[in-house]
Amino acid sequence: MALNVLALRKDFPILERETRAGVRVTYLDSTATSQKPLAVIEAMNDFYRQSNANIHRGVHTLAEEATALYEDARGKIAKFINAASARQIIYTRNTTESINLVAYSWARANLKAGDLVVLTEMEHHSNLVPWHMLAAERGIELDFIPVTMDGLLDLDAYRALLKRTPKLVAFTQMSNVLGTVNPAAEIIRMAHEAGAVTLVDAAQSVPHLKVDVQELDADFLAFSAHKMCGPTGIGALYGKAELLESMPPFLGGGDMIKEVHLRSFRPNTLPHKFEAGTPAIAEAVGFGAAVDYLSAIGMDNIAAHEHEITEYALERLEEIPGVKVFGPPARHKGGVAAFTLEGVHPHDVAQILDKDGIAIRAGHHCAQPLHEKFGIQSTSRASFYLYNTKAEVDLLVNGIYKVKEVFA
């Protein structure tokens, strides 16, 4: 079913914003954070107006309502990624914290000096730095699946790495720079055959593609609400129940305990064992509302729309003399177009585009090693979501021609 994008855009108040007189925003930065529909804004507003209270411990009406809303959202999130149980969904602040939870809890309990962790050259810093920190602390070894010059993972090199029997394979399902959608199910299957546990950075995939954790057979999978029409400050870690049960707590404090004595404590059951202190309650409500919103539209419909926009964007960008687009062709990528313009710094491109209300990203996008791989320091990046149109791609292209004129 084709999306009625013009109707959908009315759900997002910010898309009516003028950044300066007569210049309406053209938002092409959803890979950094998505915009929020009224359904999410109103759900959070209603919570604060009607049901605001702390959760789990209170027996009064507001506390019971808040607890129900918080836990109902967890159930929606579990269903959205087809987790077998809501107990397998751990609320975190974001994808970064979810990955750090695995690094601090599972990895520190299971990895020792000399153990190998396999990553990829296209990882976001969030799936690099925690493992660098653990390598410095424990002496674990890190190695990387190479990225080919056309932006795909070298699976032959991955097979060679698996012969070294890694303990963990951690990888992004979709690159935030190249847009590459990696063959996650195949990567996981191969890792399991080699005896490795898997961690999927799904920050860019869950908002844009139908992700089924049981079909993937992922051991851990991390994602954020703010990239999928939800609020900032909340994300989720999915884990297989047996792994989560075996892991020590991540943070200590209230709500993650069953009982506490002066000289000992006993942790709570899943999922609360990993959720210390008062959580982001309103944000969880917003997260649940975002899941409802995306589910009503249909993830297959969203993916099909984004593919159409991305295919069109790549064609138009490649028409522009001096533009180089990075990553694979549209059939292998999501809604991301990272590019350089010959003779112009990416920040200058972004600043000039902004004068016409066109919002893109410029920089290394928290993926410095990937940029080093391609021999560049930074790129300009346009990214697309369910509310973007081909007309906005045309505005981007016209804007790049204006940049060229400025620097002619």
Q: Catalytic residue numbers?
A: 366
* 194: its two tokens: 């080699």
CA–CA distance, 222 with 95 (Å, rounded to integer): 5
* 143: its two tokens: 């190695």
Residue 16 CB burial class (10 angstroms; 0-12, 13-18, ≥19): exposed
CA–CA distance, 227 with 128 (Å, rounded to integer): 20
CA–CA distance, 94 with 92 (Å, rounded to integer): 6
DSSP 212-277: -HHHHT-SEEEEESTTTTS-SS-EEEEE-HHHHHHSPPSS-STTSEEEEETTEEEEPPTTGGG--S
CA–CA distance, 218 with 323 (Å, rounded to integer): 38
Q: What angle do CA 268, 272, 277 make, to 5 degrees?
A: 100
CA–CA distance, 126 with 67 (Å, rounded to integer): 30
CA–CA distance, 326 with 98 (Å, rounded to integer): 28
- CA-to-CA dists, residue 63 to 55, 136, 287, 289, 302, angstroms: 5, 44, 19, 19, 36
Contacts of 101 (CB under 8 A, 6+ apart): 90, 92, 237, 250, 274
**Among 201, 83, 219, 66, CA closest to 131:** 201
> What are the φ/ψ torsions at residue 116 (nearest 5 degrees)?
-100, 130
Residue 373 CB burial class (10 angstroms; 0-12, 13-18, ≥19): middle
